[in-house]
Structure 1
């Protein structure tokens, strides 16, 4: 081993690192390039917008749902760029497809068919994304015209605006899929992470421009560090269910000793998906209501939608209640999709494995279901507290930015997943090198 290579096997020389980990290096470059394209696209405006009226409108919408939606779009909504819809249509379509696959037998059968079934479900998700993006683009464009935020009206604005918004949403869906396949990490999560990170500096600077008490700022900084440490601890926590393998006799009288292993069950098996799903579902009706309320002569339907947006403002009691309920629901729902106790129990039985003190088959299934329900309850309570507690504190102290618990949770979990995948690539290369050395 050369002098420039430490005991870990990772070269200290950058050029040697690039040559040794060529695949990882190309994946990281692709991820960086995709995020740069995404940030550049978020600055391309929709044709026909009035920038002065748009800036005036968003100056009074910082602490509303539009402010939160703007944060998740990385400022694309405030600039009314072609990517103003963000990846919310794709997330909403994914929610619908996953929920329908749990209740429709034909979709559930597709989910069990492996790669071919997954491709068909992805096709349904893309079609749903296109439909939702079109509906949201029409509603947003109509709200912009009604609010006097455009330079023209009628079809001369609606056709190019709707086309641009739908094309931007579909491009983001494609870009996210490409990041997942050719980059590192989950593509949609990485796009959301980039949006939140790009919006965070402006929000923090805006908070300091409000002449906040230095003690309050220090308390929030310490609270943020404590919450981050808690997220890292909980996300790494596991419940290890012991699993024993029966003795095997092969080759005449040769008996293999009983092997012991464990089944790792994460405390938060759903990851960051419940927070994203709950936020997207609450944003949709309130955002449409906000746009409808911008009209100078609102109709009865627009008045109803505006009242809904006022009731569902971040920090309101109804919002906190619905947000918490949706987080808990999606924690149980997504965990049930990710982990099937009956299937795991059947696989253990086929491989001759058993949980000590639990009989194989139905008793193993009931035991795993019992353990999973307890873990999911703890994980759901943890996620609800993380997402709601900062919002309650922000409302009480009047903090003028939306970097709440859900945003912090998304950033930390996505960053942890990114680091884990990078480490997996590094370990794969080291294992390959060790295999080559032993073969020689």
Structure 2
């Protein structure tokens, strides 16, 4: 991985893309220190401290601390992720959207536009809940204009993050949305580690647990790498064809089917859905309602821990299959093979090939999804046992490792493409 980044840095075009990506992430981190106007910072800190950070800890973790500080990026990129989930589900349910998704680049641009519009609407709703719900006592705005500025600042922050994410995807390296989440999580690592050592020094936790956590964190990194890199290679043979006096085809190749083709997206999607109860709690000042949500929909209460674990596992499994189905269309793949004279040895062309590919993908998806889900919920139990924050070893670590691997893979692909272009130009 380090050698890949070092080699990419030596190539001027890729170095420019890497610098552009770093510049966009720097803008994101600078914006994370700009608080929303007409808000009392001391009151914000007090309100978040009084809540114990329990109901909204996941929101704050995934936003890189923007929620607890109530910056212009308090809503983060999650309205866009929620919007993407809704649009992708509607694409399956609504024929017109499904047809639009098959129109190539033009259709994708229209769907992306609809996704952005819906994201702004969701961000507007969340901004109202953030400002006048949970942090309502910190609002010092009196006029309608001032209150509008509070809400629009958060909406504008989300719009800026959507733009930054799209710019990184188009002109930088890797998936912009994933890199923004990565930057937010990584920014919290030092604070979480320092907090863990402080808890141990204060005698509130056993030092053995801290050592155990570090070992498990390393094990998670290794396991995530194995999940992301593991694949099954399905052999493919191309029939020989005679065109004129030349013979084409006849070569053997393979289809690489990854164990975790969906990458970290199921974790990101599941985290967004699980955070919905906390978002709903933002719209109420009723303490009993907040306590109910904390008890049954967060890891603070015993029923909540069970529900959280069950829902997280189910959502990760669902989104693993869902995202894999979007990325790897077995019917289209089978048609392309048949049109190009390719076939899987021992499998008839057409529907049997599609069924075979689907069975193979399903067999690989299920263990990969379950392993990913276990890695995501394991830290919940460890945190309960040890009283130490294990954010840097759970869902966040999976996302961080996954994003680094995906970005490394993109760099390798771009270097390979550049190598072939240079060869052809010669």
Same-fold call, TM > 0.5? yes
In the TM superposition, what is the alpha-carbon distance from 1:433 to its structure 2 partner? 4.4
Q: Classify 1:187/1:256 alpha carbon distance in 2 versus 1 (closer, same or farther; 3 Å).
A: closer
Cα separation, 2, equivalents of 1:369 and 1:68: 35
Task: Confirm whether residue 185 of structure 1 aligns to residue 174 of structure 2.
Answer: yes
Task: Confirm whether residue 380 of structure 1 aligns to residue 369 of structure 2.
Answer: yes
Indicate the residue corresponding to 2:354 in structure 1. 365
**3-state SS in 2 of match to 1:174:** helix
Task: Confirm whether residue 138 of structure 1 aligns to residue 139 of structure 2.
Answer: no
Superposition map of 1:72-87 within 5 A: 72-87=62-77
In the TM superposition, what is the alpha-carbon distance from 1:247 to its structure 2 partner? 2.0
Indicate the residue corresponding to 1:22 in structure 2. 12
Q: Report if the CA contact (8 A) 1:145-1:153 is conserved.
A: no
In the TM superposition, what is the alpha-carbon distance from 1:214 to its structure 2 partner? 2.4
Indicate the residue corresponding to 2:236 in structure 1. 243
Indicate the residue corresponding to 2:299 in structure 1. 314
Indicate the residue corresponding to 2:260 in structure 1. 268
Cα separation, 2, equivalents of 1:322 and 1:404: 20
**3-state SS in 1 of match to 2:253:** strand
Cα separation, 1, equivalents of 2:227 and 2:394: 14
Q: Report if the CA contact (8 A) 2:238-2:249 is conserved.
A: no
Superposition map of 1:340-351 within 5 A: 340-351=329-340
Flag the structure with larger Rg: 1
Per-residue deviation, residues 252-297 of structure 1 (Å, max 9, x unmatched) = 4x555721111111111111111101101111222331x345x3xx
Segments of 5+ residues of structure 1 without an aligned counterpart are 1-7
- Greater mean alpha carbon deviation, residues 395-404 or residues 312-321: 395-404
**3-state SS in 2 of match to 1:78:** helix
Q: Report if the CA contact (8 A) 1:332-1:376 is conserved.
A: yes
**3-state SS in 1 of match to 2:391:** coil
Q: Report if the CA contact (8 A) 1:63-1:402 is conserved.
A: no
TM-score, normalised with respect to structure 1: 0.89
Q: Report if the CA contact (8 A) 1:140-1:288 is conserved.
A: no
Cα separation, 1, equivalents of 2:210 and 2:152: 43
Indicate the residue corresponding to 1:47 in structure 2. 37
Q: Classify 1:29/1:304 alpha carbon distance in 2 versus 1 (closer, same or farther; 3 Å).
A: same
Q: Report if the CA contact (8 A) 1:65-1:287 is conserved.
A: no
Cα separation, 2, equivalents of 1:174 and 1:216: 42
Indicate the residue corresponding to 2:409 in structure 1. 420
Segments of 5+ residues of structure 2 without an aligned counterpart are none
**3-state SS in 1 of match to 2:254:** strand
In the TM superposition, what is the alpha-carbon distance from 1:310 to its structure 2 partner? 3.0
Superposition map of 1:22-421 within 5 A: 22-61=12-51, 63-144=53-134, 146=136, 148-153=137-142, 155=144, 157-211=146-200, 212-252=205-245, 255=247, 258-289=250-281, 291-292=282-283, 295=285, 298=286, 303-304=288-289, 306-314=291-299, 316-421=305-410
In the TM superposition, what is the alpha-carbon distance from 1:336 to its structure 2 partner? 1.2
Q: Report if the CA contact (8 A) 1:93-1:129 is conserved.
A: yes
Cα separation, 1, equivalents of 2:218 and 2:390: 17
Q: Classify 1:435/1:393 alpha carbon distance in 2 versus 1 (closer, same or farther; 3 Å).
A: same
Cα separation, 2, equivalents of 1:218 and 1:145: 37
Cα separation, 1, equivalents of 2:18 and 2:307: 42
TM-score, normalised with respect to structure 2: 0.92
Cα separation, 2, equivalents of 1:336 and 1:77: 34
In the TM superposition, what is the alpha-carbon distance from 1:74 to its structure 2 partner? 1.3
Per-residue deviation, residues 295-346 of structure 1 (Å, max 9, x unmatched) = 3xx3xxx744652243111361111111111111111111111111111111
Cα separation, 2, equivalents of 1:347 and 1:328: 28
Cα separation, 2, equivalents of 1:355 and 1:307: 55
Aligned length: 416
**3-state SS in 1 of match to 2:257:** strand
Q: Classify 1:337/1:424 alpha carbon distance in 2 versus 1 (closer, same or farther; 3 Å).
A: closer
